[in-house]
Amino acid sequence: LNRRLAEFGTTIFAEMSALAVRTGSINLGQGFPDTDGPEEIREAAVRALRAGHGNQYPPGPGVPELRTAIADHQQRRYGLALDPDTEVLVTAGATEAIAAALLALLEPGDEVIALEPYYDSYAACIAMAGGSRVPVTLHPDAATGTYRLDLDELRAAVTPRTRLILLNTPHNPTGTVLTREELGAIAALACERDLLVVTDEVYEHLVFEGEHLPLAGFPGMRERTVTIGSAGKTYSFTGWKVGWVTASPELVTAVRSAKQFLTYVSAGPFQYAVAEALRLPDSYYEGLRADLRAKRDLLSGGLSEAGFEVYRPSGTYFVTTDIRPLGESDGFAFCRALPERCGVVAIPNAVFYDHREQGAPFVRFAFCKRADVLADAVSRLKRL
Ligand code: PMP
Ligand code: GLN
């Protein structure tokens, strides 16, 4: 294994899901729903497969039906007009979109600013692209149970070597949804310092308070923003690995240059099914949000009763907790012991930090699980 990758070892999600299987624990670690998305969308995939739609290599940028549906979604939801032929690229999940964007846009030595704690593939992909990461840490505020971005710290992180900001809103693992003011300031900074922004918006529909605003809609951002989406989160089919990039023709062409040598294309029949999913009525998204909001409240309330300090997420399907009120301080040790102690798996937030010590006492739980599973997990955690 080369030096660029050696520091990353095995992703925490694989490690913790294997631990859950081995110990028969409730897996609130890796973020995936325990109930599949809409039956009619699953049927659409079966229909596509049977009809021979996409069983052979689909077109490089993705099937036209899906690219058009993605463009329509961005128009309907956010008023963003996109040309499906030149401004949309289908990828193998958001994971490939992140990798392809960074591989395409970075020169060796370029600096990438990312909000810490950050999703684990960011650091690995920056490294694979030869870039260097510059974390800007979100600060936990115990009084309000939220995380806060310090815009002065963000501004101070920009240097002449900064090539891009890698943003994520709604934010995994903290559940922070960046506000209009924060996004406006980030956009102004990007324009002033001539930076690109790759913005990971895979949780765009999972917002409980406030509203998701796409960075690409801010003044001056259309030409410098690569927006990433994913069907995995929005339609509860994480195994299908259908994601996408929307950006200017120049940026889409650049990302595609890398993507063509990573996977060339992603699985065909699922693309047709996701095209149908993108046309679900608003009531689908309202139902998804209401369901997850109730689950957030159930798990957050239970964790609080079990003695955790809870950071209340405004979006995503994760809740971050502080374990210090339980007399614990090392999230890694806590998560490794948790299956034996009470049959629950969670993720230590320290893995999402360069400043590991700052993430040490924080632990993330996923609430995209059936209510009875969450209730069972809570009763187990109360026995700690
Ligand atoms: N970005 C973030 C912030 C995520 O949490 C995830 C997790 N699934 C991904 C990207 C990857 O998405 P996909 O499964 O579509 O590759
Ligand atoms: N995004 C999911 C999470 O944060 C997991 C995705 C993965 O396993 N790579 O839990």
* Domains of the chain, earliest start first: 3-30+283-381 (3.90.1150.10), 39-277 (3.40.640.10)
The predicted structure's pLDDT at residue 304: 98
What pLDDT digit, counting tens, does each position of 253-292 carry? 999 999 999 999 999 999 999 999 999 999 999 999 999 9
Q: CA–CA separation, 322 vs 212, rounded Å?
A: 26
pLDDT band at 231 (very low <50, low <70, confident <90, very high): very high
The predicted structure's pLDDT at residue 80: 98
Q: CA–CA separation, 208 vs 46, rounded Å?
A: 32
Overall average pLDDT of the 325-353 stretch = 97
Atom 2 of ligand 2 has which residue's CA nearest to it?
31
CB of 277 within 8 A of CB of 243?
A: no
What pLDDT digit, counting tens, does each position of 305-333 carry? 999 999 999 999 999 999 999 999 999 99
The predicted structure's pLDDT at residue 149: 98
Query: Is the distance from the beta carbon of residue 172 to the nearest atom of ligand 2 less than 6 Å?
Result: yes
Does residue 193 surpass a pLDDT of 90? Answer: yes
Pocket test for ligand 2, best of 12, 13, 351 (most atoms within 8 A of CB): 13
Query: Is the distance from the beta carbon of residue 30 to the nearest atom of ligand 2 less than 6 Å?
Result: yes
Does residue 9 surpass a pLDDT of 90? Answer: no
Compute, in angstroms, the gap from residue 189 CA to the centroid of ligand 2: 30
Overall average pLDDT of the 182-208 stretch = 98
Compute, in angstroms, the gap from residue 299 CA to the centroid of ligand 2: 19
Our CA dihedral for 295, 296, 301, 303, rounded to 10 degrees, sits at 100
Compute, in angstroms, the gap from residue 219 CA to the centroid of ligand 2: 32
Residue 248 DSSP SS3: coil
DSSP characters over 207-220: BSSS----GGGSTT
Overall average pLDDT of the 114-140 stretch = 97
Overall average pLDDT of the 7-24 stretch = 93
Query: Is the distance from the beta carbon of residue 94 to the nearest atom of ligand 1 less than 6 Å?
Result: yes
ipTM of the prediction greater than 0.90, yes or no: yes
pLDDT band at 108 (very low <50, low <70, confident <90, very high): very high
The amino acid at residue 219 is P
Compute, in angstroms, the gap from residue 304 CA to the centroid of ligand 1: 27
What pLDDT digit, counting tens, does each position of 50-97 carry? 999 999 999 999 999 999 999 999 999 999 999 999 999 999 999 999
pLDDT band at 26 (very low <50, low <70, confident <90, very high): very high
Atom 8 of ligand 1 has which residue's CA nearest to it?
31
What pLDDT digit, counting tens, does each position of 89-99 carry? 999 999 999 99
Query: Is the distance from the beta carbon of residue 13 to the nearest atom of ligand 2 less than 6 Å?
Result: yes
Compute, in angstroms, the gap from residue 290 CA to the centroid of ligand 1: 21
Q: What is the percentage of the chain residues whose pLDDT exceeds 70?
A: 100
Q: CA–CA separation, 256 vs 264, rounded Å?
A: 9
Pocket test for ligand 2, best of 8, 11, 32 (most atoms within 8 A of CB): 32
| Sheet containing 242-246, strands listed edge to edge, beginning at the edge strand earlier in sequence | 88-92, 242-246, 225-230, 196-200, 162-168, 111-116, 132-137
Query: Is the distance from the beta carbon of residue 31 to the nearest atom of ligand 2 less than 6 Å?
Result: yes
Compute, in angstroms, the gap from residue 202 CA to the centroid of ligand 1: 6
Atom 4 of ligand 2 has which residue's CA nearest to it?
31
Q: CA–CA separation, 353 vs 363, rounded Å?
A: 12
The predicted structure's pLDDT at residue 184: 98
Beta strands in the chain (DSSP E): 26-27, 88-92, 111-116, 132-137, 139-141, 146-148, 162-168, 196-200, 225-230, 242-246, 309-311, 318-322, 344-345, 347-348, 362-366
Query: Is the distance from the beta carbon of residue 93 to the nearest atom of ligand 1 less than 6 Å?
Result: yes
